[in-house]
């Protein structure tokens, strides 16, 4: 499946979650030579540096599994983050060795359920460059100690279980 198609499919899954009244948890869909993995990362606002920890560990997981691409999806605000003013949207960022893509779909909250506006594809310069640096370049050395730690963090009962698809 093309990265663009995978991004739209993952956004469709997020729509189903939101329509059901559930919380859309930031999700990483990681493509590797040995299969795909999905990692859901629920952030707790009361836990400092949780987001930074995830953004440090997920790339190490990708290096360990020799990831070739990833799609990250979640809800976002189109406006000042601190005030939560502005429009709500769902976002997908897709990165491979040859592609850097972003797409948003704005959410209009209405009685009877949310309405999702058509996809708006973003230019690479509209996306934070740091997302493009998360996919490890080439084969990165992952130490035995790091593999042990990654197995704990991303294992079945870990803080960010990686579910094989």
- Considering just the CA atoms, what is the radius of gyration of the chain in Å? 16
∠105-14-34 over CA atoms, to 5°? 115
Residue 3 makes CB contacts below 8 A (sequence gap 6+) with 69, 71, 94, 96, 99, 101
pLDDT digits (tens, 9 = 90+) for 5-62: 999 999 999 999 998 988 889 999 999 999 999 999 987 767 778 888 898 999 999 9
pLDDT of residue 118 exceeding 70, the answer is yes
Per-residue pLDDT band at 138 (split at 50, 70, 90) = low
Instruction: Please give the pLDDT value at position 112.
Output: 86
Instruction: Please give the pLDDT value at position 145.
Output: 94
Domain count for the chain: 1
Residue ranges making up the domain that contains 134? 3-164
89/76 Cα distance (integer angstroms): 5
Tell me the DSSP string of 74-122: EEEEES-TTTT-SEEEEEEEEEESS-EEEEEEEEEEETTEEEEPPPEEE
95/122 Cα distance (integer angstroms): 13
pLDDT of residue 82 exceeding 80, the answer is no
pLDDT of residue 73 exceeding 80, the answer is yes
Could you tell me if 59 and 85 are in contact, meaning their C-beta atoms sit under 8 angstroms apart?
A: no
Tell me the DSSP string of 42-85: ---TTSTTHHHHHHHHHHHHHHHTT--EEEEEEEEEES-TTTT-
**Angle between helix 144-154 and 50-64 (nearest 10):** 120
What is the percent of the chain with per-residue pLDDT over 90, rounded to a whole number? 60
Tokens 């050395």, residue located: 141
27/73 Cα distance (integer angstroms): 5
């Amino acid at each position: 499946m093309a990265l663009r198609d995978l991004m739209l499919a993952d956004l469709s899954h997020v729509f189903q979650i939101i329509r059901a009244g559930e919380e859309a948890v930031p999700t990483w869909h990681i493509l590797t030579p040995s299969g795909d993995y999905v990692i859901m990362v629920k952030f707790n606002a009361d836990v400092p540096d949780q987001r930074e920890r995830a953004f440090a560990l997920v790339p190490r997981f990708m290096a360990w599994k020799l990831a070739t691409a990833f799609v990250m999806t979640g809800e976002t605000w189109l406006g000042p983050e601190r005030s939560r003013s502005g429009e709500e949207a769902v976002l997908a960022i897709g990165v491979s060795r040859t592609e850097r893509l972003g797409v948003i779909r704005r959410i209009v909250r209405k009685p009877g359920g949310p309405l999702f506006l058509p996809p708006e594809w973003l230019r690479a310069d509209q996306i934070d460059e740091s997302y493009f640096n998360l996919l490890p370049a080439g084969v990165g050395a992952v130490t035995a100690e790091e593999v042990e730690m990654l197995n704990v963090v991303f294992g079945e009962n870990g803080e960010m279980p990686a579910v094989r698809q």
